[in-house]
Structure 1
Amino acid sequence: MSLDLPRTEPRSANPAADEVRQRLEHARSTRLAQLKALDETGQSPEDHLMSTQKDAIKRVLAEIDDAFARVDGGTYGTCLGCSKAVPPERLEILPHTRYCVACQRRAA
């Protein structure tokens, strides 16, 4: 799949899922803009900091794609560590998160 194409699906009968998809698409487009800006800086490809930033952005893009799959599969918002609901506040701030705060700390 091309990174430039939006992932937003057609509107569904589930407004909550539509809102989640909208937040994920915003996070995705923001990361794509950051990646494009890094590519346009003209820095040397050997620049370790730039390479590290690009890798981090690409990891987040993969996490966002995984979150889209969880929305489609009906498991979005469930912690992959403890299977409890991830607090809505956390999902609002970090819509692609896979873990609640406690499980994220353990995974880190």
Structure 2
Amino acid sequence: MTTDLGTTTQRLTKHEARRRLEHERNSRLAQLRAIEESAPLADEDLQAAQTAAIRRVLDEIDAAGRRLADGSYGTCDNCQTAIPVERLEILPYVRFCVGCQQRAS
């Protein structure tokens, strides 16, 4: 059974969402490897900040995977409305719709 995620005429299937999340995870892991490889040449504070930011995104990706598994993926954590598929295509791990994200920032 295919479950569609999003509210526009375009639809993001669970398979596509999973694929996008895997791509994001692999990209972030490659960034971590690059940071580790540049360790002798990098500023330690900058490297620590970059590593922490990437690890936060990896945590968000893992949380999105859990939402995908439990059926809540694509729903805003705050207002419970559907997150537009265009937003999920750009940031597949996003937890909030644009309005709630702007209010939180």
TM-score by length of 2: 0.85
Whole-angstrom CA distance in 1 between matches of 2:41 and 2:50: 13
Q: CA deviation at 1:74?
A: 0.3
In the other structure, the counterpart of 1:31 is 28
RMSD: 1.6
Higher relative contact order (CA 8 A, sep 6+): 2
Answering whether residue 75 of structure 2 is matched by residue 60 of structure 1, we say no
1:7-86 matches, cutoff 5 A:
13-14=1-2, 16-43=13-40, 47-86=44-83
Structure having the higher helix fraction is 2
- Runs (4 or more) in structure 1 with deviation over 6 Å come to none
In the other structure, the counterpart of 2:10 is none
> Identity, % of aligned pairs?
50
Q: CA deviation at 1:64?
A: 0.2
In the other structure, the counterpart of 2:9 is none
TM-score by length of 1: 0.83
Indicate if the aligned counterparts of 1:35 and 1:54 stay in contact, CA closer than 8 A. Answer: yes
Indicate if the aligned counterparts of 1:45 and 1:51 stay in contact, CA closer than 8 A. Answer: no
User: How many residues of Structure 1 are paired with residues of Structure 2 in the alignment?
Assistant: 96
**Is there any run of 5+ residues in structure 1 with no aligned partner, and where?**
1-12
